[in-house]
Homo-oligomer: A and B are copies of this chain.
Amino acid sequence: MTESHTLAKRYQQVRAATERLSAPLAPEDQTPQSMADASPVKWHRAHTTWFFETFVLDRAQPGYMPFDPAYRMLFNSYYNTVGAQHARPERGLLTRPGVDEISRYRAQVDEQMSFLLTDGALGDELRAVVELGLHHEQQHQELIVTDLKHLLSQNPLHPAYCPHKPETLAPVVEAPLRWARVEPGLRRIGHAGAGFAFDNEGPAHNCYVHGFALATRPVTNGEYLEFIQDGGYQRADLWLADGWLAVNEGGWQAPLYWLAQDGGERRQFTLSGVRAVEPLEPVTHLSAYEADAYARWAGARLPTEMEWEVVATARPPEGHFAETARLHPAPAPVVTEAGDEAPGSTPPVLQLFGDVWEWTSSAYAAYPGYRAPAGALGEYNGKFMANQLVLRGGSCATPAGHIRATYRNFFYPSARWQFTGLRLARDLR
């Protein structure tokens, strides 16, 4: 298969995956916006299309006639270089174009993109933009899931998006928490070489790593419940000052989507409706403040992104991703490896990829030597390098194939609506 055909095929696959996500949703579900941080599903479907129209079709075809000239402003998310944007918190007020019209928009752009991608005339620069656009669309696939979850959670009827998938092979005992040791020394992190990566993953560069140990699996609901039962949300000494403020202003008593406890078992809202909080599943929908407070309570700390990457870099990016359609984190497998207990051996490190994004203590900042690309696409990552923290590893809502060891996701520390969890780290003594 030629390279052109490969890209064309990947284009078709990624675009179809978006439509599979929205297929079960009525127009009513695709329209409102439950908070300024989230966007309507139909907006995501239009904006990802806008990306290809604006950055590929309009550049590749002289005299290109846009599907609707008003969309240039309407579905521009944050690219000042492209021009004005419709106000972010008002995306849910755009009842028109409707769902059907957006489907037509997608179809027309797809048709023209397919033509472009298969006729072989597209230059390297625009092919790279197409590649970026596909990764961009995968990011929005994850946002479709998490934004929809937030929207449905506002409904007292607790409606479900997908059927519950029981883990038929789910472990009945918790995977033991072990520690993978890394000795101090000079290391190299960041993306280099072939294969796609976002600009913010490079340049690859040296860094000095202090000795540390990384937990072999994320923190579980069961462990987090102990924190809660120990008064974790009432003890100021466990929290960063900004976190303590967030706890008190937000009235936080548990992770987002956990229901107020009224005597019986803990329950939580999931995309399959309200379900029990399973002790063996990784805890999720935590802010970085909660992750940090838990780590302090546990006598540990969050890893830096450097530490996380040093451990993850040797491992294949495999795990529990969106394709299982479970859309909820799963318990860690109980792995018994030969020689597991041998002195000096490194225990297997589980669930680095998939299940839950793992908060790190690293501020999202430019790597040494980083320079944002020129033009509109330079706004993709660089301008957000303030006030956010890096998360690593992907989640149960991340499309398989989208994640890498060098991948840097970023959110404000107060954000809770992504599938965010944590893995402990500690200093070597």
Contacts and interface: CB of A to CB of B under 8 A. Distances in A.
A292 B30 CA distance: 39
Contacts of A378: 237
Contacts of A288: 386
Interface stretch (A175-183, A329-337, A348-356, A361-369): A361-369
Contact of A86 (B80, B156, B362): B156
A379 to B, nearest CB: 8
A155 B101 CA distance: 15
Contacts of A208: 186, 206-208
Nearest to A369: B427
A289 B93 contact: no
A255 interface: no
A394 interface: no
A405 interface: no
B387 A96 contact: no
A413 interface: yes
Contacts of A422: none
A32 interface: yes
Contact of A27 (B26, B80, B81, B244): B26
Contacts of A292: 386
Contacts of A157: 70, 74, 96-97
A419 B287 CA distance: 33
29 contacts: A26-B98, A27-B27, A28-B95, A31-B32, A32-B92, A32-B95, A70-B156, A74-B156, A80-B236, A80-B237, A80-B244, A86-B156, A93-B151, A93-B155, A95-B152, A184-B206, A207-B208, A208-B208, A210-B369, A240-B386, A241-B383, A241-B386, A243-B386, A292-B386, A301-B366, A361-B365, A362-B365, A363-B363, A369-B427
Given A240-B386, A301-B366, 20 more contacts: A27-B28, A28-B30, A28-B42, A28-B96, A29-B96, A31-B31, A31-B95, A81-B237, A92-B92, A93-B154, A95-B151, A95-B155, A186-B186, A208-B208, A240-B384, A241-B383, A244-B383, A363-B363, A368-B427, A387-B387
